[in-house]
Amino acid sequence: MADVAIKVEGGVKHKILDDVKKLLPEGNLSLCLTCGLCSSGCPATGLDGMDPRKFLRMLVLGMDKEVLESDWPWMCTMCQRCVYVCPMKIDIPQMIFNIRAARPRDERPKGIRDSCDVAVNSESASAMGTPVEDFKFVVEDVLEEYREAQPEFADMEAPIDKVGAEFFLNQNSREPMTEPDEMVPLWKILHLAGVDWTYGSKAWAAENYCLFLADNENWERLVTAKANMADELKCKTYLNTE
Ligand code: SF4
Ligand code: SF4
């Protein structure tokens, strides 16, 4: 069983806490009631013997070194559940983001770093590096298969590069590449609701690992590529399914 006790060693400094106060003037960590609501709904609670309340306590106690060395901040999904339930509205994921950004880029988790780098160098913005032609082929192939197998959806569309569509839809690249049938339920909903939508042949991938890497520059680069594609197609609304 993991050792979950907080051990305070060495001199107490509050650099992270002071930095957070500058960034989040409303986020007074001293307001924490230690109620544990954040930990109760957090999917990362218990991993590495840590949870959001304990993480916050360590920051308040000035345990910067231990927090910076911990891998737990990389296990947070950034789901925001803790902020939603916190009676004091303490923004734990923002703190986690800042702690991730404090680690040198080449020491951040390789899997997340590689996914960010691959996406930045992919025309599709795909963390799997999915080529544009592969995406088009899979969408067209799956659409044809469902039209034939389910006559009630014989006129369903899955447009790519439809100029002037209302919605520009992004899709996680894992779906066309490894679970293509997973794309279809959303197509059906959009079809039955009469929604005018399109994928882009470029920048269609929804995931953005640069966000999770705390790489602001590349995070923005990917979002900009997707927004530019939506503009190029003259779509009014960017719909990200992630
Ligand atoms: S939910 Fe908010 S107030 Fe309660 S322990 Fe977590 S951070 Fe503190
Ligand atoms: S944002 Fe992170 S810390 Fe908060 S509930 Fe989600 S996984 Fe847990």
Confidence of residue 8 (pLDDT cuts 50, 70, 90): low
Distance 109 CA to ligand 2 centre (A): 18
The answer on pLDDT for 222 being more than 80 is: yes
Q: Which pLDDT score is estimated for 37?
A: 95
Weakest-pLDDT range from 2-16, 149-163, 197-211: 2-16
Confidence of residue 1 (pLDDT cuts 50, 70, 90): very low
The full length of the chain comes to: 242
User: CA-based diameter of the chain, in Å?
Assistant: 71
Q: Which pLDDT score is estimated for 4?
A: 57
Helix (H, G, I), strand (E, B) or coil at 164: coil
**CB 219, CB 211: distance < 8 Å:** yes
Rounded mean pLDDT, 93-112:
93
Helix (H) or strand (E) holding 170: strand 167-170
Structural domain contains residue 8: no
Ligand found nearest the CA of 50: 2
Burial 166-199 (b: 16+ CB within 10 A, else e): eebbbbbbbbbeeeeeebbebbeebbeeeeebbb
Distance 84 CA to ligand 1 centre (A): 10
Domain at 66, CATH number: 1.10.1060.10
Q: Which pLDDT score is estimated for 90?
A: 87
DSSP 208: -
Rounded mean pLDDT, 27-43:
85
Confidence of residue 229 (pLDDT cuts 50, 70, 90): very high
Rounded mean pLDDT, 108-132:
96
Minimal-distance CA residue to ligand 2 atom 7: 76
Structural domain contains residue 3: no
Q: 103, 138, 170: which is the final residue of a domain?
A: 103
* Structural domain containing residue 142: 110-240
Weakest-pLDDT range from 13-17, 45-49, 61-65, 93-97: 13-17
Confidence of residue 27 (pLDDT cuts 50, 70, 90): low
Q: Which pLDDT score is estimated for 242?
A: 80
DSSP string, 178-194: H-GGGGHHHHHHHHHTT
Structural domain contains residue 210: yes
Ligand found nearest the CA of 45: 2
Structural domain contains residue 21: yes
Q: Is the CB of 43 under 6 A from ligand 2?
A: yes
Distance 36 CA to ligand 1 centre (A): 6
Average pLDDT, the chain: 90
Rounded mean pLDDT, 13-40:
74
Burial class (CB in 10 A: 0-12, 13-18, 19+), 64: buried
Q: Is the CB of 78 under 6 A from ligand 2?
A: yes
Q: Which pLDDT score is estimated for 241?
A: 84
> Using CA atoms, how far apart are residues 48 and 169, in angstroms rounded to an integer?
37
Which residues, 6+ apart, have CB-to-CB distance to 130 below 8 Å? 122, 124, 173, 176, 177, 205
Q: Is the pTM of this model over 0.85?
A: no
Phi, psi of 63 (to 5 degrees): -85, 55
Structural domain contains residue 62: yes
Ligand found nearest the CA of 92: 2
Q: Is the CB of 93 under 6 A from ligand 2?
A: yes
* Structural domain count of the chain: 2
Confidence of residue 22 (pLDDT cuts 50, 70, 90): low
> Using CA atoms, how far apart are residues 205 and 202, in angstroms rounded to an integer?
8
Q: Same domain, yes or no, for 70 and 130? A: no
Q: 103, 132, 160: which is the final residue of a domain?
A: 103
Minimal-distance CA residue to ligand 2 atom 5: 42
Distance 49 CA to ligand 2 centre (A): 15
